[in-house]
Structure 1
Amino acid sequence: MSSKGGKRPVLRADKRPTKATSRGTTAKKPAASASKVSKRKAAPRKSRRVGATARPRGPIGWLRRLIGFVLGLIWSLTWRSAAVVGLVLGGAVLYFYAQLPPFTDLIDGRTRGSVTLMDREGDVFAWRGEQFGSITDINQVSPNVKNAVVATEDRRFYWHLGVSPRGVASAIRINLSEGRSALSGHGGSTLTQQTAKLLCLGVPYDASVWKTEAAYEDDCRRTTIWRKVKEAIYAMAMEAKYTKDEILVIYLNRAYLGASARGFEAAAQRYFGVPASQLDPGQAAMLAGLLKAPTRYAPTNNLQRAQDRADTVIKLMYDQGYITAAERDRAWDRPATLSAAAESNTGGYFADWVMDTGPNFLTRDTTEDVLLFTTIDQRIQKAAEGAMRDVFESKLKEGSEAQAAIVVMSADGAVRAMVGGRETQVSGAFNRATMAKRQTGSSFKPFVYAAAMDLGYTPLATVVDEPYCINVPGSGDYCPKNYSREFKGRVTLSDALKESLNIPAVKVSEAVGRENVRKIATEFGIDNALANGPALALGVSESTLVEMTGAYAGILNGGRSVTPYGLNELRLQGENETLMGQGGGFGERVISEQAARYLVYMMSQVIDGGTGQRAKLGDRPAAGKTGTTQAARDAWFIGFTADYVAGVWMGYDDNTPLSGVTGGGLPADIWRETMLRVHEGVPISPLPMDVPQAPAGVAAPQYQGNTTTANSNGAGRQQAPAQAEQKDNLAERVLQDVLGNLFGRRN
């Protein structure tokens, strides 16, 4: 190839492309000045989107950036803290979850057992300890129970996970609106939380930590922020471990429902006499209503209050769709009532006394469920309670604080009724029949004459009632006086007791020997320190009503001592083996049968025409003795028929003197009213006594009652006149020599 002009063309390499060219730029741009290039490099390129606003600059921009930073920091801390709390909470729930036992192990958590007391007929009349009836499956209770509890205590029970934030917030709001602190009053606890509290959050009772079980339960019920937190965690662990129905079963077993009833099965039996599976809506509502305040709303304390509370629960059940309008109206029209046993609520004082007669590890401190078969007769118990109530209402002025006590027993010492004070529906109260030691006054005199009869004297022997003094070494002369301040002259022993003359009683006591009198009284069961001086005969020593009544039972039964008792048999529930038998009964002979029969006659004269005439029982023969202590601080009447012995004491707890009351007054009225009711429907039987026969030429005493007596076979017989006259003459001569000649004049 040739070039123009014949010259060979110069070969040149192509120019190396620049960066702009390599990116696809084909046109060569003119070079820019150095200053423009530097400015272009200093200013960063900004990509602007269509519609975008510029970030504010200055203080506003700075403030917005600061707020964004703070919010971001807060959010970061919050979710991190929440994660930590969640992990800790989950760990705590797992910790309690691992410790929870099978739910059946939590059904019965009692540290004490129950004591069920049966009357002489085998019917339940009282309960002590913690009554309990196990529920192991929700189907063992009536659906009405389940619905009533859920409607009353936690309507969202089947929906929450153990705690209810809405319930807590509502409770705090109510507490604050009522002027209390946030944690005082309403707690907002779910049923699961309540169950956790009943379980004391898994902390078992330890006698070395808490002095009593009550102190343990009080500690479990304390409300603090930390305990509420722990309670919530424990509740969530329970929700994870157990089903809803299992939690409810634990609650139904553990809840206290008043009157010593622990759990709904025990309460159903206690109040209504039916199992929990048979409770109707009204009964279930009444039991659910007790959860708020078991003692206050217990139907045995106030049935009307319990029924009003049940009406509220019925309304809740209807509002939440558990019952129909017809069921609601039926429950309102026919509210639940108590069973016969619960309604009578008898034996408060008696039950406490019987519990004390058994060993504590089988009664008050028992960890087993125990049955006590007792001697109480509920008919007689009601008779005694009614008699006291009627006499006090009709014959005492309103506001009087005088007290009284009654004991009724059989001749062998089996106590059939016991009233320890005017308030009869009590438990654990001061029992004036067994605990109050009071001077016995003239009710002690039968033991003085028992000593004389046992030495061979008869009721027709005589003693002189006259001014009389006896020197007591170290104290000077002791000069007893009669209540009337009069002197009767020579009187028979029968008349001396009949008129309750003091001087003849002291004379006879001195003649037969104080030691003999003290020995006879002690062996008849007066287990107290007896006076050593001559005032012994006038009852200056102290005794309890149950002891005195038991001593009189010894006179009725022919002279044998008795130990008053109320327990026939003790055994564990569900077992047939007897662990403890009868706690008392007949003892040794104290005086001869003849002496006892004469003494019964003398005491019958007290009621027929003496100081105890207000105690007459119409055609039914009765015997007894009045007693009034110095300044009338105590008034007694103790007596018996052929069937029962009864004792009545009356006085003030602080020893204030009674106004216008003697043993032959109000105590005799109470005794009469009691015995009339006790003997309703009981055939009339003669007293076991011998009417003394007067010596030849002397008129026999007049007695209007039945004069037959019982021989060793129980058949009626007449006193042999010749034998009676012979013994009476002998006794008359002996007593005339000893008493008439020795103490017929003033010392």
Structure 2
Amino acid sequence: MSGKNTGTGGRRIVAERRYSDSAAKPAQRKAAPKRQARKTTKRRANKPRGPIRRLLGILMLPFIWLFRLIWKITWRVSLVCFAILAAAVFYVSSTLPEDYRVLVDQRVRGSVTLLDREGQVFAWRGDQFGGMITADTVSDHLHNAVVATEDKRFYRHFGISPRGIASAVRINLSAGRGPLSGNGGSTITQQTAKLLCLGVPFDPETWEDETAYEADCRQGSIWRKAKEAIYAMALELRYTKEEVLTIYMNRAFLGAGARGFEAASQRYFGKSANEVGPAEAAMLAGLLKAPSRYAPTNNLERSRDRGATVLKLMNDQGYLSDAQHAQAVENPASLSQAAAAEAGGYFADWVMRSGPEIFTRNTTEDVIIRTSFDQEIQASTEEAMQLVFQERVSAESTAQAAIVVMSADGAVRAMVGGRDVRASGAFNRATQANRQTGSAFKPFLYAAAMELGYTPNDYVVDAELCIDIPGSSRYCPRNYTNRFYGNVTLTEALARSLNTAAVRISEAMGRDNVRKIANDFGLQSDLAEGPALALGASESTLLQMTGAYAGILNGGSTVTPYGLVELRLQGDSTPVITQEGGIGERVISRRAAEHLTYMMSRVVAEGTGVRAQLDGWQIAGKTGTTQGAKDAWFIGFTADYVVGVWMGNDDNKPLRGVTGGGLPATIWHEVMARITAGVTPRPLPMIDPGPAAPLVSQEELARQAAEEARRQQQEQQRQQRQNRRNNTDSAINNLLNGLFGNN
């Protein structure tokens, strides 16, 4: 039984089942070792590559360690830098004024607006500020033009634009420039920070002048750029976008002395920035790139081209429809009448130089000056000058000219200081050039004669004359024609501009007397001491000479030329300065002035100034040509205006074929022909003495001349004998002193 049990029974029924069950369990338990065996087999198969991996791992350890170190340092440093940057931004923000309007106008210099005699603006000087505008109230077209041109992401950044900076660097590098040279990628906020000079005010002890201050504000170093970025973010933190834009639009320099878009709009278009259309707005926004280059008063076409570029940007960014864009391109912006005229540059410069410095050249206030300037007369003056130079002067000529138009009381109505009739800030030959006056000086010695009781019909001998000058050679004047005319009236002597007759009169009246009358009439320069005084050897400016002639026209009273009529501060109704006229004390009697005016009228009627004649008008004047033809003058007047004309070379080279009775008289005629067009002629204030007494016979003239020559010869011989006696006495005295001493 037991055999059965250990035999087939156990093997078939029980043992096999138990075996199978028991065999299954060990098989499951040994599954893991089998897998481990496979892994071991696999490792053994890869065993030759183990050292390489370990070597690579060892080699990479320093780099991995370095990377982890750099990362740890970087994020910590970045965190510290961010904290420092945030602290800096918050600190700068705390220093900004709470009210952004305080930053709108912080000009160091004020502005001067010049009005003509009718009260119309014709010129601006200084830093013009037309008044505050805001980004909310300004013309939508101007608002959009500024954003489209300068910073299209303005409303999406936090003061700086990394994308814009990267784009600018790429453009600079592609153009062969340095990464920070050229395009800067500055946002409007960064530009505002620069305009505010990062909050640093002007200090005259630190900067020599405002130009140096602004140059320092515009420097582009990396450290400056970093501070600029901090200041820009502080502005964004402190103010709204519209407030930042308002500061920018009021502080930006836009050429021609205009600070801010209101001043620029008034300067160029004669309207407020709140009223400009698309074309005008585009032109104004275009100025931001290069204000002086694109200023429409410098080059209108270039400014329009720049404006067209801005219009396209506005169209591309959706600020203008295609129809609006096309209309604006077809109708570009135009300058106002005052801006287009560019009138009175020389006159405005003269008023600024001659006015009180605290209210003109160095004003810190906004000043309004009403002047004596007449824009119509100025236009006539400029047109006449240009016409004569175009038609009568060769293109190679370097000759210059100047013109002054003045009323009898000294009120200057127009002024041209050079061939470039519309220059501004240039050398003004009407007021700054001291030149010899030549025969244009002669009316003042005849004024002395009239004041001492002589009449236009009195006679003077025009004959050879020589005067001994102590310490110098003999002075022997000659007439321009190299002829002598014998016994002539004072009127004829002046009309023909006879030199010997003029010297005789000057010597007879007394040089000191002639000099005093000339000084009293306004010729304040050092006048010549010798007999050449009579022939205009002294120097003067055209303005002074014209003012002196105005004294003759007004009846013999001194005149102070003036242009400033009234000066007041902007916003004030009470003027600070007023000027009612330039007439001063009487120099000669009215009778003497009216006699002299008659004599000067014959200069134009039949003498050296005939080219100045105007049909229907009485004209008085005098020509002048200096020795060597270095200067040529004609100064004349009607009953209403005195006009002075000068021609010459800046380097004192002689003029070729030009005398006072030539081109200067022609220019005078062209000026007055335009000024008097359509005006009823008025007579000159003069006394006509009637015909002169009959001339003496030629024999008598010859006898008088011979007698005078004999007297002069005798006087010279007497003087020579006296000189010899003096020399002999001096020699004897010296000899005796040498032999016996002073005792």
1:541 to 534, 538, 542: 538
Q: Report the Cα distance in structure 2 between the residues aligned to 1:314 and 1:737, rounded to whole angstroms.
A: 89
CA shift, 1:490, in A, is 1.1
Q: Report the Cα distance in structure 2 between the residues aligned to 1:621 and 1:487, rounded to whole angstroms.
A: 29
Q: Report the Cα distance in structure 1 between the residues aligned to 2:541 and 2:326, rounded to whole angstroms.
A: 54
TM-score after normalising by structure 1:
0.86
TM-score after normalising by structure 2:
0.87
CA shift, 1:63, in A, is 3.3
CA contact (8 A) 1:164 1:188 kept: yes
Partner in structure 1 of residue 230 of structure 2: 233
* SS of the residue 2:364 aligns to: coil
Cα deviation digits, residues 262-320 of structure 1 (max 9, x gap): 00000000000000000000001001111111111111111111111111111111011
2:522 to 521, 525, 533: 525
The answer as to 2:287 corresponding to 1:276 is no
Partner in structure 2 of residue 554 of structure 1: 551
1:619 to 616, 621, 628: 616
What are the within-5 Å matches in structure 2 for residues 258-407 of structure 1? 258-407=255-404
The answer as to 2:147 corresponding to 1:150 is yes
CA contact (8 A) 2:148 2:314 kept: yes
CA shift, 1:354, in A, is 0.9
Q: Report the Cα distance in structure 2 between the residues aligned to 1:247 and 1:617, rounded to whole angstroms.
A: 63
CA contact (8 A) 2:463 2:705 kept: no
CA shift, 1:425, in A, is 2.3
Partner in structure 1 of residue 731 of structure 2: none
What are the within-5 Å matches in structure 2 for residues 208-227 of structure 1? 208-227=205-224
CA shift, 1:739, in A, is 10
Q: Report the Cα distance in structure 1 between the residues aligned to 2:149 and 2:680, rounded to whole angstroms.
A: 55
CA shift, 1:635, in A, is 0.5
Q: Report the Cα distance in structure 2 between the residues aligned to 1:408 and 1:115, rounded to whole angstroms.
A: 23
Query: Can you give the 5+ residue segments of structure 1 that lack an aligned partner in the other structure?
Result: 1-44, 700-734
2:85 to 72, 86, 89: 89
1:167 to 149, 164, 168: 164
271-280 or 135-144: bigger deviation: 135-144
Q: CA, structure 1 residues 193+736, in 2 after alignment: closer, same or farther (shift >3 Å)?
A: farther
Q: Report the Cα distance in structure 2 between the residues aligned to 1:653 and 1:584, rounded to whole angstroms.
A: 33
Q: Report the Cα distance in structure 2 between the residues aligned to 1:234 and 1:89, rounded to whole angstroms.
A: 11
Q: Report the Cα distance in structure 1 between the residues aligned to 2:393 and 2:563, rounded to whole angstroms.
A: 31
Cα deviation digits, residues 394-450 of structure 1 (max 9, x gap): 111113221110000000110000111111222221111111000000000001111
Task: Give, as a single letter, the amino acid of the residue that structure 2 aligns with 1:441.
Answer: G
The answer as to 2:74 corresponding to 1:78 is yes
CA contact (8 A) 1:453 1:595 kept: yes
* SS of the residue 1:686 aligns to: coil
294-303 or 686-695: bigger deviation: 686-695
Q: Report the Cα distance in structure 2 between the residues aligned to 1:345 and 1:261, rounded to whole angstroms.
A: 15
Q: CA, structure 1 residues 738+163, in 2 after alignment: closer, same or farther (shift >3 Å)?
A: farther
CA shift, 1:576, in A, is 1.3
2:94 to 98, 115, 121: 98
* SS of the residue 1:407 aligns to: strand
1:59 to 46, 55, 59: 55
Cα deviation digits, residues 14-63 of structure 1 (max 9, x gap): xxxxxxxxxxxxxxxxxxxxxxxxxxxxxxx99x99x9999965202323
Q: Report the Cα distance in structure 2 between the residues aligned to 1:497 and 1:129, rounded to whole angstroms.
A: 47
The answer as to 2:649 corresponding to 1:652 is yes
CA contact (8 A) 2:487 2:695 kept: no
Cα deviation digits, residues 302-342 of structure 1 (max 9, x gap): 11111111111111110111001111111111100000111
Cα deviation digits, residues 174-206 of structure 1 (max 9, x gap): 212222211111111111101100111111110
130-139 or 538-547: bigger deviation: 130-139
Q: CA, structure 1 residues 94+332, in 2 after alignment: closer, same or farther (shift >3 Å)?
A: same
CA contact (8 A) 1:511 1:739 kept: no
Q: Report the Cα distance in structure 2 between the residues aligned to 1:144 and 1:695, rounded to whole angstroms.
A: 77
Q: Report the Cα distance in structure 2 between the residues aligned to 1:737 and 1:162, rounded to whole angstroms.
A: 99
* SS of the residue 2:428 aligns to: coil
Partner in structure 2 of residue 578 of structure 1: 575
* SS of the residue 2:468 aligns to: strand
CA contact (8 A) 2:620 2:637 kept: yes
Q: CA, structure 1 residues 745+177, in 2 after alignment: closer, same or farther (shift >3 Å)?
A: farther
CA contact (8 A) 2:195 2:251 kept: yes
What are the within-5 Å matches in structure 2 for residues 176-215 of structure 1? 176-215=173-212
Cα deviation digits, residues 471-504 of structure 1 (max 9, x gap): 1122132100011111111111111111111000
Q: Report the Cα distance in structure 2 between the residues aligned to 1:619 and 1:736, rounded to whole angstroms.
A: 41
What are the within-5 Å matches in structure 2 for residues 1-40 of structure 1? none
Q: CA, structure 1 residues 421+740, in 2 after alignment: closer, same or farther (shift >3 Å)?
A: farther
* SS of the residue 1:140 aligns to: coil
CA shift, 1:581, in A, is 1.4
Query: Can you give the 5+ residue segments of structure 2 that lack an aligned partner in the other structure?
Result: 1-35, 714-743
Task: Give, as a single letter, the amino acid of the residue that structure 2 aligns with 1:89.
Answer: L
